Amino acid sequence: MHDKSPQLIKPVAIKSLDLRLKSGSWAFAEAEKQRIGAHWRKLADGNPRIWNGDVLICSGAAITGEALTGQFIKTDYASFVAWRDWGWPDKDVCNVFGSAAVLSADGAVLYGRMASHTLNAGKVYPPGGSLEMKDVGADGEVDIMGSITRELEEETGLKAEEAERGELLAIFDGPRLSVAQVFHFASDAAALAQRVRSYLPGAHEDELSDIEVIRSSSQIDSAIPPYAVALARYLIKPP
């Protein structure tokens, strides 16, 4: 990935995706199995609500022309979290995930603030989530667009079919790659935020504590990771 991907953290417009599951296991997870288990048990002792299950890690991603290609292997969330917490020691893989870029009719970007019981508590970024085995079709294709639309509705109550789809963007951020679908909603930011806040108390997937309306770069702070900063700056139009 690293020798073929853009080095600057900026959105790159793409037109097509070729993302597929391959056989095999993650060498890092196998080699560090005992240490990963101990790390996860320590995290779970402090936060019993954290979830572990199968997720996908990308062993190669690149943009050729306007096409994003990538190969994925199955691992578990505990191994991914250890890799992240230990400073991304395996440089041959990256975390590829989908992001729903919600853009209101009055030009604001809506990001979610992660709930206190999550491993990203307090962080602010677009609705989205890790790719899982349920995102893999019978032919091995990884359906990241299906993941994006599902996570958007589960986390916010907003539905992709209510919006007009805009650009599809890839944002390389070191060991992370966000595939962001822009959704243009017809409602203004205040109305969308009210809908989400009404939805959150009863949400089955209670990952968000609130929704944040971002109208200008002056609202960007350290709670927003670099890829989400780059996306917000790209989407927000100057006054």
Report the pLDDT value the prediction gives residue 4, as an integer from 0 to 100.
Answer: 41
Greatest CA span in the chain, whole angstroms?
53
Is 120 a member of any domain?
yes
Is 3 a member of any domain?
no
Hey, CA dihedral for 29, 35, 41, 42, is it positive or negative? negative
Report the pLDDT value the prediction gives residue 203, as an integer from 0 to 100.
Answer: 79
Is 164 a member of any domain?
yes
C-alpha atoms less than 13 angstroms from C-alpha of 214 in its C-beta half-sphere? 29
Point out which residues pair with 132 in neighbouring strands: none
Is 205 a member of any domain?
yes
Q: What are phi and psi of 186, to 5 degrees?
A: -80, -15
Cα 212 to Cα 210: distance, rounded to the nearest angstrom: 7
Output the six-digit token pair for 200. Answer: 């959150």
Cα–chain-centroid distance for residue 200?
Answer: 19
Is 1 a member of any domain?
no
pTM: predicted TM-score of the whole model, two decimal places:
0.93
Report the pLDDT value the prediction gives residue 1, as an integer from 0 to 100.
Answer: 41
**Structural domain harbouring 149:** 12-235
CATH number for position 195? 3.90.79.10
Report the pLDDT value the prediction gives residue 9, as an integer from 0 to 100.
Answer: 85
Is 67 a member of any domain?
yes
Are the CB atoms for 129 and 151 separated by under 8 Å?
yes
Residue 202's contacts (CB-CB under 8 Å, 6 or more residues apart) are none
First to last CA, the chain: 37
Rounded-to-10 torsion of CA 33, 38, 42, 44: 50
| Local confidence pLDDT in tens for the 239 residues of the chain | 433 444 458 999 999 999 999 999 999 999 999 999 999 999 999 988 898 999 999 998 999 989 999 999 999 999 999 999 999 999 999 999 999 999 999 999 999 999 998 999 999 999 999 999 999 999 999 999 999 999 999 999 999 999 999 999 999 999 999 999 999 999 999 999 999 999 999 877 789 999 999 999 999 999 999 999 999 999 997 76
Is 163 a member of any domain?
yes
Q: Which helix (H) or strand (E) holds 144?
A: helix 144-156
C-beta atoms surrounding 23 within 10 Å? 7
Look at the chain and report how many structural domains it folds into: 1
Report the pLDDT value the prediction gives residue 60, as an integer from 0 to 100.
Answer: 86
Cα 79 to Cα 34: distance, rounded to the nearest angstrom: 10
Beta strands at 12-14 and 164-173: parallel, antiparallel or unpaired: antiparallel
